[in-house]
Amino acid sequence: MHDSVTVHMAAPAQKVWELVSDITNTGKFSPETFEAEWLDGATGPSVDARFRGHVKRNGKGPVYWTTCRVVACEPGREFGFVVEAAGRSINTWRYRFEPSGDGVDVTESFELESTLPLRLYWALLGGLRGRTNRNGMRTTLERIKVVAEA
């Protein structure tokens, strides 16, 4: 109930981290989350800052809002957040930045919480959703790469 994609970017880790951690950029990069906004007076990334994302599932629908909380915020190294429902974490998304050659290897990953409902969901639809997530992560990272390397 997890997966990851890594893309090399010929750009400084700090620059890429700034693009990723500014959640107001999400709509430029993600094929599913078309906008995001900080909540509770937050204006930028920090651990426990909350934001919400407007999602168009599978790029087609349904359309809904998710509430998220930042759980990792190390400039140039890592940015991570959990998607919450009814006050409980259901999915953790992370971006990790590893210096490499002329730039940085950026890894985007997700990991669903190991609850019975999510395990059942993954058993039934995990193959399809996993493929969608992998394709979406690759699309997101490739879009970030274009901006970061410009």
Q: What is the pLDDT along the chain (150 residues), one digit of tens a residue?
A: 899 999 999 999 999 999 999 999 999 999 999 999 999 999 999 999 999 999 998 778 899 999 999 999 999 999 999 999 988 999 999 999 999 999 999 999 999 998 888 889 888 888 888 899 999 999 999 999 999 999
pLDDT computed for residue 33 by the predictor: 95
Three-class SS state of 140: helix
Using the Cα atoms of residue 74, residue 67, residue 34 and residue 24 in order, give the sign of their dihedral.
Answer: negative
pLDDT at 40: 97
User: Please, where are the H alpha helices in 5-110?
Assistant: 13-21, 26-29
**CATH number for the domain running over 2-149:** 3.30.530.20
pLDDT at residue number 119:
87
Q: What is the pLDDT of residue 110?
A: 95
Instruction: Take residue 40 and report the two structure tokens written for it.
Output: 């509770």
Domain boundaries, the chain: 2-149
pLDDT at 85: 92
The type of residue at 102 is D
pLDDT at 57: 84
